[in-house]
Chain A
Amino acid sequence: MNNTISRRHFLKASGITISVIVANQIVQLSPSQAYAKEAIIRVLSEAQTTTLEVFAEALVPGSRVAGISHFIDSQLAGPNEDSLLMLKYLGVPQPHAGFYQAILDALAASVKTYFDKPISELNSKQMEVLIGLINQDALEDWAGPSASFAYFVLRSDAVDVVYGVDQGFADIGVPPMHHIKPKQVW
């Protein structure tokens, strides 16, 4: 079965929603609907969003359509104390917008330096090289929080949106067994 289709279908059918802004209104949509309707990204720039979606998708396939950009952006747009980002307990002081903006800008800049093209145009081999360099903190011009830490954080966020929700549990055969099911995915 095509997983992307099944995830979209599931999220629609399950009624699990997030709050996003579409056409100047706050509405409740599933993450995949938010992604499909291009709901407004409030904190990250267009370039940062693209970098995030491409990189996260390379790390955790399915994370783009599962709504990685809306997940991170919605948390950055909300009050610090309500944040559901794992970064909250990795020792980085809030607010976290600056952290994400810095690592995404650093990522885009490194891609430009090393491959002389936008991240969305990297082929899979180049992406692998990039990830290898990031993991070893070997990108010479990297500016901002350490590259390997950035990898860990973005991968964890992408894991959250793909495997931290019921469909992800189902995909790998783990029964969710919620005591209290979340009303919204995040």
Chain B
Amino acid sequence: MNKDIDILIVGSGAAASVIAAKAALDGKNVVMLEAGPERSLNDLVSSQIWARKLKWSGAHVEEEGNLKIGNNFNAGSGTGGTSMHHYGVWPRLHDVDFTMKTDHRRGLDWPINYADLAPFYDLIQDEIGLSGDHVLEKWRPKGKDYPMPPVPTFAQGKVISKGFDKFGLDTAPIPLAINTRPRKNRRACIYDGWCDAGCPIGALGNALAYYLPRALNASTHSDNGINARIIHNATVGRVLTNKKGDKATGVDYFDQSGNKTTLTAKIVVLAAFAVQNPRILLNSASTSHPNGLANGSDLVGRYLMTHPSNTINGIFKDPTTPHLGATGGQLICQDGYDKKSKSDGAFGSYQWLIANAVKPNDLLGMANSRPDIYGEKLKPFMQTAAKHYGTMVCVGEDIPKAENRVMLSQAKDQYGLPLAKTIHNVSVETDRLINQAVQQGLDIFKAAGATDAWAGPRFGMHILGGTVMGDKPETSVTNQYGQTHEIENLLIAGPGLFPSSGAVNPTFTIHALALKSVEYLLSHWNSIAK
């Protein structure tokens, strides 16, 4: 069985699903090793309590810094990975996000520019299906029109947008990987706001709604008639190489009982998200790679990023029906993008995701927006909030810094492998950026008629960096296709590749990059898989 594997992918989430589907449809024998349990769309129960099953339940991640990356909130496990409970907010990166170092002497440049990625955004958009309004979304870089009309604006969006209007700021329907009409055998959204618990009707373009079924159903000419499969509850500990250390030969993984199995493959792709990918590389140290694989320049784990974010909350005079819509929001404003250098020493872009659908409980629920309210006052607050609450979130840009990183801890997991330890601090410039955005958000809410407006705590949204791509081995871990500079047949996929974070949600870009990588891999198969 082992010798037949063409591509062994660690993980079955967003990035893995694209690579698996394209490779399997090309006739490659693909195996995905997934640390979490098997799940289907039918397992996505609409409850914020049960939604926690989807969250990361692998090895603990130790975290330090003034803005922790929040791994256990920001990561998931099981079939489809984090993508299963992601909200489908899919804006594109902007031109300026690719040239941060050149333009601003901070962070890193990408080895590609927006124009290189645009065709892949377009292809993914066409396949998965995006809804939006490319005209009203005036900030959107060049690209094909959205294949579906935007999500409707419900009362919450209408109420909050009045505040933006008063400050001369523009809003547009939020770009979503959510069907607004039935498409490609997937149903249209019914705006019930259960995205955080996973969309079981397939309206939201998570891995199980689109690419994983295409991978698992691909059947061309491999021996058993099926080209791709997922082995669940399989935690990869190490990537193995030949003696010389210039070729990946496979991986070791552990099953639930702790039994270790070795699988060999022609190509190994690490798609285990931004913390576990570096952990696996560092844990794969050998005599030929004493500091870990692909780590000759001591860059594995470095440039770890998260989007510094803040919610703004309010109670409005007008009814808002905050339970309606998609969890990701109804509207977007990117007027704070592109002009990265701001007043008062702030730096970076930011965007507003406006009018998120909310539920009563959980971290981002109505009750926890005001943790100071308790006792007899809580129910009246909840009753008011249920009808008049509004919220939006600012997503800020992080500045990539080498000292923000994933390292190995002294502590070990159940298989005896060192845990990941992360350190992430935001700079003063970033802090100022978010402070300014928060003040703007509060002003907008008041202008929109909020009788009470308050900011939530700052938190890290999304995890990026740690295995950054670039032109040179001295400054990056992989090339623009995700191939590690040191080992040609070892690839990385996912947001870990991003040399800078931009201020947009990353999963559209993750898909576009994964598509770019797999197309390159398949078209250079004979030389890479030799």
Contact = CB atoms under 8 A, between A and B. Distances in A.
Interface stretch (B17-25, B41-49, B174-182, B337-345): B41-49
A84 B60 contact: no
B332 to A, nearest CB: 24
Contacts of A159: 360-361, 365, 367-368
A4 interface: no
B206 to A, nearest CB: 14
30 contacts: A59-B375, A60-B378, A61-B378, A84-B50, A84-B53, A90-B73, A91-B68, A135-B372, A155-B367, A155-B371, A156-B368, A156-B371, A159-B361, A163-B365, A164-B47, A164-B359, A169-B360, A171-B382, A172-B360, A176-B46, A177-B194, A177-B323, A178-B45, A178-B47, A179-B192, A179-B201, A180-B42, A180-B44, A180-B46, A180-B200
A58 B374 contact: yes
Contact of B52 (A59, A83, A128): A83
A128 B373 CA distance: 12
A133 interface: no
Interface in B451-502: none
Minimum-distance CB pairs A-B, first 5: A164-B361, A178-B46, A89-B72, A163-B360, A177-B192
Interface string B347-381: 00000000000011111010110011011101100
A168 interface: yes
A178 B57 contact: no
B44 A179 contact: yes
B312 interface: no
B383 interface: yes
A105 interface: no
Given A81-B57, A159-B365, A179 B63 contact: no
Which of A61, A135, A152 is the most central at the interface, judged by chain B CB atoms within 10 Å of its CB? Answer: A61
A59 B49 contact: no
Given A58-B374, A156-B363, A160-B362, 5 more contacts: A89-B52, A156-B367, A163-B382, A178-B45, A179-B44
Contacts of B63: 91
Given A177-B192, A179-B194, A180-B42, A160 B57 contact: no
Interface residues of B, number: 48
Nearest to A58: B375
A173 B190 CA distance: 19
A54 interface: no
Contacts, number: 135
A80 B414 CA distance: 13
A131 interface: yes
B266 interface: no
Contacts of B48: 160, 164
A58 B194 CA distance: 30
Contacts of A186: 49-50
Interface string A143-186: 00000000110011001100111001101111111111111011
A91 B365 contact: no
Interface of B: 37, 42, 44-50, 52-53, 55-57, 60, 63, 68, 70, 72-73, 190, 192-194, 199-201, 323, 359-363, 365, 367-368, 371-372, 374-376, 378-379, 382-383, 385-387
Nearest to A131: B374
A83 B60 CA distance: 14
A177 B190 CA distance: 10
A26 interface: no
Contacts of B49: 84, 160, 164-165, 182, 185-186
B60 A94 contact: yes
A37 interface: no
A174 B60 contact: no
Contact of A61 (B323, B367, B375, B383): B375
Contact of B60 (A60, A90, A93, A177): A93
Contacts of A128: 375
Interface in A74-130: 80-86, 88-91, 93-94, 128
A6 to B, nearest CB: 13
Contact of A91 (B57, B72, B367, B372): B72
Contacts of B387: 173
